[in-house]
Amino acid sequence: MVCVAPVLLSGCMEERVVAVRGGLQNMPGAVGGIRPDRPDSGESVGVGTNRWSRYLEAYGDPHAKLTGSEQDPRRHIDEFGNVTLILRSPADVLYHTYWTIQRGEWEILYEQVISDRLKRNYVEHFKEPEESVRFLRRNRQDVQQLLEVLPGAEMTPGALLSTVGPLAFRITASPEQTHGKKFKSVDVIIEDGVFRLLLIK
């Protein structure tokens, strides 16, 4: 969230560009053929077989064997009707952030999508961690506008993927896509073997 950006991005945090899609690579003199510094396990982007799968294996991915419902392949519903969101890539985080806001599933958003690190930052600033959800509710239209221009997360043409800390990544939309919009980027982080939302700014 905007109010905690200085804390999350100060001190030992490092930001570096690891992938660029669209835009400048087609200009004269641009260097091509550089492999992005990110996990690569093939072209499949389906849940359970996406390019981040091998990366998450090292962190004990608890969603590795989950299967989605017929209605939504990224939501696992057990026999008791309990919902588990499948969060195996940055794209899953953006997808679930958008749809939990759209459906008003604030408890699921708080418990499964928002990272513990973001909640701790609110506590460290003497705020309730639930304020992270209130922020998204107050800014729901602006947040969803950003997510709508990043349908493929880091694979969206023109989007920029960068590293902002240990197991933390930033996806920045192209200037053309965010012109006039309040928010420009989304940060995600790996916690407990799955991706979660760290920051929208």
Q: What is the DSSP string of 56-71?
A: HHTTT-TTTT----SS
- The per-residue pLDDT for 172 is 97
Q: What is the DSSP letter of 4?
A: G
Residues 64 and 84: their CA atoms lie apart, in Å, by 12
> Sorting pLDDT into bands at 50, 70 and 90, what band is 61?
low
Q: Which of 6-10, 141-145, 147-151 has the lowest mean pLDDT?
A: 6-10
Residue of 179, 169, 175 lying closest to 94 (CA atoms)? 169
Mean pLDDT of the chain: 78
Q: Is the pLDDT confidence value at 9 over 60?
A: no
- The per-residue pLDDT for 39 is 39
> Sorting pLDDT into bands at 50, 70 and 90, what band is 143?
very high
Domain residues of the chain, as ranges? 2-24+45-200
- The per-residue pLDDT for 53 is 65
> Sorting pLDDT into bands at 50, 70 and 90, what band is 175?
very high
Render pLDDT for 146-166 as a digit per residue (tens, 0 to 9). Answer: 999 999 999 999 999 999 999
Residues 179 and 186: their CA atoms lie apart, in Å, by 16
pTM of the model as a whole: 0.73
% of the chain with per-residue pLDDT over 90? 61
Helices 116-124, 131-138: crossing angle, 10 deg rounding: 100
